[in-house]
Structure 1
């Protein structure tokens, strides 16, 4: 992993600067060949377990957590207690919980290593094209990490209130362990956009592996960031450019299990190699329909019935969940329970599957279609938005008719399509937050014994993760979010 275990912090045993198992940064970035190994280590650090917790396996765990914080991915019972405190909105409001510390440690670890790459790569022996590629990837990783942090630990970006002076997270741009104060939301977004703009000048669409960031992925990041900032024109522009080289999957491909990075629609993801198994601490151990784990056997994830019941039977996405609890066509591991509205979307080869070696989708072209359609609709370009939406949804449902809706009715339709298309891929919590909408599980099939919390008003303090207590203790320059 080279320097892939380095973290950015102040307390030496919490965010170590020269940990056992890493090599000196100078050696790691002496050549572009060595630097490539170091960058690979950063990608690998995205999916390992954190805080010695099986259920907190890096960014893929955050994808699940950010969806169960919403109302569309539901834990039906507590036969397995993994992520129950997250769905109850307890973990992220407890400064000492693993669920609260995970994103802070994860994304600052990525940032710390990206900073080392950005600082050292210009002097590496190799070609300029190689240096550009590696620096562009590091800038993309840093921007991606800060985008995740600012959305979780800061308040939402408000385009009508520039500059957004709300506190976000410390903005660390060089290899350091000095404790820094929290930057503002505006300052963090400014840096994110600066990093992405520079990365776009360094990267091309060419790459060897989809697990690595290229120019298309950078444009996808720019589309995501612009959407969060309510910069509708840029969101539509970048989303359109990002998706140009990717084809929406066919109806048949949609039913293959969302576990193969070679799918033509996937833009970026984790390519799970055979020598990198995480066993029970992996994405498919918690969200698939057929991995042979206790979580999957006893506590399969289910979809919010309110949105499922609106999906036409002609839409392939209606097959991604099984409404009848005893349906024989549901795929479960041996001894697995069958519950109403259980997922079939994420599936591994074999029944039951004894391997968690599924690839993980970080970015798909369908997301870009949906960003473009939403951004166009919010600008009042109803006909163009409806066309982009049709280009995607007609691939899911051959009977779909192009929408003639306008205004709020059209954006509501786009958001419905976003909810069913991106279910389980980590967008619902931040979608609610960026749109300043409340959490409402009332009327869903969420269990009161499991979910506990059903309604959170828009703008409530609970939409911000608390700064981890370990960082509060170690960094005298930082302050806590309102309790």
Structure 2
């Protein structure tokens, strides 16, 4: 049998393997090549391997370039964004709900996330070989299992139903949960229900939160606060509101900031400002990982692929600090647009190269507020909602909403806060709501050309994205989603 060769660089570790259903071919030039069993006899190699797993989040289909970039996919498929007539038409098919198994706009995440999983499983394959011990070993295993859970969660919410989406969602077809390093596996199948997949995700996260020792100084690596926050997110999607509250409160107890009002613009524009960030996909100028290019380019005027929908833009009041942080109004090719410049770049660094804020304290607070409301504790939900609003509006009088008005206010703030952070599509999906676009055009005042497709009904099969045809060709045991 051909041995895998491990290639080590000072920055990260990459495994060179031939992959089928759950990974892909990857080779990078590096200065040292050695057999993987030998490489994993040194403690520092475990760290390099784990950092290599984090690095895979920057791959195509996850958080890089434009096509299928998860920074934009959750918004361009909804009422948050509208395609411009002066852009390059990237991701147009997805925005028009033209999902297909051979279009990387909606299939790229599948292989990209399984690559992350494969790299975490590589670390776990050697975790008991005696090289690591004590807290060092516990932390490494915890990090690997937490990141493995994150990637599986991203896959299952995109390609399967969300547990709260319909009455039968929990028992509907899930995904393959990969727990061993087997890159040549071509027999894996979607053998779990959605509920069983969530069980495994939560099991991995609970192990991680009990064993992780890493502090949250380096936001590019998982910490206890981040894992608690992830448990809050996953349980919200599952409809387990008691645990959404439990773990969300624990996360906020460790890392309480939801980003101070005076700091809000800075966390998107300053490299070392992480106020309110729990976990991020770190990014450096040297990598040239232009995550913001999915939205626009400077040529030298801003040229956008998608701009904010006019109704959403006007929902941000003039005293909302998010409006200036997220948008720039300027002309391109003689037409004026409200550009999304949330990811345009950091001060003094190249355009479109920014850290991806994967999880923020503000989201955790919103998770908990919604869970309190759905658990019958509207008073505490309102306290949390007002806490967030006090940090987002330059002048704010605490709200007094109750009942449906309170839930509407929580969901409105969620949309405003997490716009362009891969949330909107999944919020609509988990609430079993349709996409209903405004009918407004792409120009700054709502005129111009509206979106071609205006609606996607709740319950439509397209809420479950298609499995890539290449994965099915490599492994026929993988079942395609219905009607693709």
1:329 aligns with none
1:331 aligns with none
CA separation of 1:274/1:436 partners in 2, compared to 1, >3 Å: closer, same or farther?
same
CA separation of 1:239/1:99 partners in 2, compared to 1, >3 Å: closer, same or farther?
same
1:76 aligns with 84
Q: Deviations over 1:394-447 (max 9, x none)?
A: 011142222222222111111110111111111011111011100111344459
Name the SS for the 1:362 alignment partner.
strand
Partner residue of 2:228 out of 192, 206, 219 = 219
CA separation of 1:6/1:195 partners in 2, compared to 1, >3 Å: closer, same or farther?
farther
Partner residue of 1:308 out of 313, 317, 337 = 313
* Conserved? CA contact 1:261–1:270, under 8 Å: no
Partner residue of 1:209 out of 214, 218, 239 = 218
CA separation of 1:5/1:146 partners in 2, compared to 1, >3 Å: closer, same or farther?
same
In the alignment, the residues of structure 1 paired with residue 169 and residue 261 of structure 2 have an alpha-carbon distance, to the nearest angstrom, of: 45
CA separation of 1:130/1:165 partners in 2, compared to 1, >3 Å: closer, same or farther?
same
CA separation of 1:11/1:268 partners in 2, compared to 1, >3 Å: closer, same or farther?
closer
CA separation of 1:50/1:349 partners in 2, compared to 1, >3 Å: closer, same or farther?
closer
Alignment of 1:348-367 (within 5 A): 348-349=345-346, 354-367=350-363
1:65 aligns with 2:70: no
In the alignment, the residues of structure 1 paired with residue 200 and residue 298 of structure 2 have an alpha-carbon distance, to the nearest angstrom, of: 43
1:49 aligns with 2:46: no
Count of residue correspondences? 461
Partner residue of 2:377 out of 362, 378, 381 = 381
CA separation of 1:158/1:350 partners in 2, compared to 1, >3 Å: closer, same or farther?
closer
2:342 aligns with 345
1:453 aligns with 453
When the two chains are superposed, the root-mean-square deviation of aligned CA atoms in Å is 3.0
In the alignment, the residues of structure 2 paired with residue 431 and residue 444 of structure 1 have an alpha-carbon distance, to the nearest angstrom, of: 22
Name the SS for the 2:387 alignment partner.
helix
1:400 aligns with 2:396: yes
Q: Deviations over 1:230-270 (max 9, x none)?
A: 11111122122212324233333222361435322111112
In the alignment, the residues of structure 1 paired with residue 18 and residue 236 of structure 2 have an alpha-carbon distance, to the nearest angstrom, of: 28
1:330 aligns with none
* Conserved? CA contact 1:297–1:337, under 8 Å: no
**1:161 Cα deviation (Å)?**
4.5
1:283 aligns with 2:291: yes
1:157 aligns with 163
* Conserved? CA contact 1:67–1:73, under 8 Å: yes
Alignment of 1:77-476 (within 5 A): 77-90=85-98, 93-158=99-164, 161=167, 164-176=170-182, 177-182=185-190, 183-204=192-213, 206-207=215-216, 209-244=218-253, 245-256=255-266, 258-259=268-269, 260-278=271-289, 282-287=290-295, 292=298, 297-299=302-304, 301-320=306-325, 339-349=336-346, 354-445=350-441, 451-476=451-476
CA separation of 1:439/1:8 partners in 2, compared to 1, >3 Å: closer, same or farther?
farther
**1:178 Cα deviation (Å)?**
3.3
1:482 aligns with 2:449: no
* Conserved? CA contact 2:188–2:475, under 8 Å: yes
Name the SS for the 2:354 alignment partner.
coil
CA separation of 1:247/1:16 partners in 2, compared to 1, >3 Å: closer, same or farther?
same
CA separation of 1:159/1:102 partners in 2, compared to 1, >3 Å: closer, same or farther?
closer
* Conserved? CA contact 2:61–2:112, under 8 Å: yes
Q: Deviations over 1:286-324 (max 9, x none)?
A: 336xx6358x72226432222332333222123245686
* Conserved? CA contact 1:257–1:346, under 8 Å: no
CA separation of 1:391/1:205 partners in 2, compared to 1, >3 Å: closer, same or farther?
farther
CA separation of 1:185/1:399 partners in 2, compared to 1, >3 Å: closer, same or farther?
same
Report which of the two has the higher share of strand: 2
**1:18 Cα deviation (Å)?**
9.2
